[in-house]
Amino acid sequence: MAAGPTLAAGQTAPLFVRMAGSVMARRKDALVNEPGRPEKWAYEQGVLLKGMESVWRETGDERYFKYIRQGVDHFVNADGTISTYKPEDYSLDNVMPGRLLLLLYKVAGQEKYRKAAGLLREQLKTQPRTSEGGFWHKKIYPEQMWLDGLYMAEPFYAEYAAAFHEDADFDDIANQFVLMEHHARDSKTGLLYHGWDESRKQRWADPATGRSPNFWGRGVGWYAMALVDTLDYFPKDHPKREALLAILKRLAAAVEKYQEPKSGLWYEVPDKGGAEGNYLEASASCMFVYALAKGVRQGYLPDSYFQVARKGYQGIVNRFVETDAGGQVSLKGTVSVAGLGGSPYRDGSYQYYLSEKVVTDDPKGVGAFLMASSEMEMDAGQHSGKGSRTPSKRR
């Protein structure tokens, strides 16, 4: 059955607390890995633990912080090296968990976390780039920018720059968003295509524009979350801050436009809601709810978007959240993965996006859900866009 949020004293705990408890029961060691494969430093774990961070900040319960630390400490050695991390892969995915390193350094103060974060920052210094300075998503995807990469790199890059006073980096951070929007945004829908190939060599790339052929819900969700999380650390007086806010507002309008009216949710391929085989997808819906609700709370977006988020959140609860007889909470309906190129080759077609497995309790989906649920069920009055709490004030 669906589990609904109940906040009154003496009643059921908030849904994000129940989901977090279920996560900790299912994954006692905080590790995320594919069955039959060894554990590795990976963004999947990073997204899940960022969700747990949201729960910790809302509740102040140290159990969640200890869970985050346990997961990170499995990989971070006493000298600050990171087990299984290979900087020569130049994968932006591997940068994302660095946000947990910065959290742990700020709270626990251990030098190993600062050193480990520094390794990821060093990767960005030599990350391959397009001719205009956009980060390649990975070394194995030459000359390509993907929406995913903005979430994987930019919030960490911005938080690191703010923490260590590397103010010159904010120009570069802003440019990543500007370039992605410039090359991937569709003027008709307002949505961004999943990827862009500067070389136009990929089979999935449009020979004229370099764009991949379809929009992907979670891809747009990654970009939306990247914007609201990066803006938290972006200097208020920086000349390019307004450009980021404008991008977010354009994106929010497109997200609202493609919200399915009846359910309040979003489709795997957002602009093809009525097409055969398309389905409402959990992780993208969670990401949009999080980005819109946080955007309102922080004053980045007009208050009207909170109603869009509210409708989306209720849809998530109604359709994707289940509670078993033992009280364990699960999230259904997350597409396991989607990408471009590689082997076997992913051509970015409509049929490709529908071919990937849809799973329950995927760490990316659950992490995004915890972020979204924490936003939607936090203290009343926080979504007026005034007096917003910053991350450092939410403990």
Q: Where in the sequence numbering do the catalytic residues fall?
A: 148
Distance of alpha carbon 226 from alpha carbon 221, whole angstroms: 8
CA distance 6 to 116: 40
Angle at 382 between CA 174 and CA 18, to 5 degrees: 95
Residue 167 φ/ψ, nearest 5 degrees: -65, -25
Determine the distance from the C-alpha atom of residue 135 to the mean position of all C-alpha atoms in its chain, rounded to a whole number: 17
Token digits for 295?
């955007």
> Please, what is the end-to-end C-alpha distance for the chain in angstroms?
32
Which DSSP category does 358 fall into? E
C-alpha dist (Å) from residue 21 to 64, 67, 353: 9, 11, 32
State how far the Cα of 104 lies from the Cα of 332, in Å rounded to an integer.
30
DSSP H or E stretch at residue 329: strand 329-331
- In this structure, which amino acid lies at residue 50? K
Quick one: residue 91, left, alpha or beta (phi over 0 = left, psi -120 to 50 = alpha)? beta
Q: Say whether the peptide bond before residue 38 is cis (omega within 30 degrees of 0).
A: no
Task: Give the single-character DSSP code of 330.
Answer: E
- Judged on CB neighbours under 10 Å (0-12, 13-18, 19+), 168 is exposed
**What DSSP designation does 82 have?**
B
177, 244 Cβ separation under 8 angstroms: yes
Place of tokens 């790199």: 153
* Residue 97 CA from chain centroid, whole number: 11
Q: Calculate the CA 222 to chain-centre distance.
A: 5
- Cβ-based burial of 187 (10 A; exposed 0-12, middle 13-18, buried ≥19): exposed
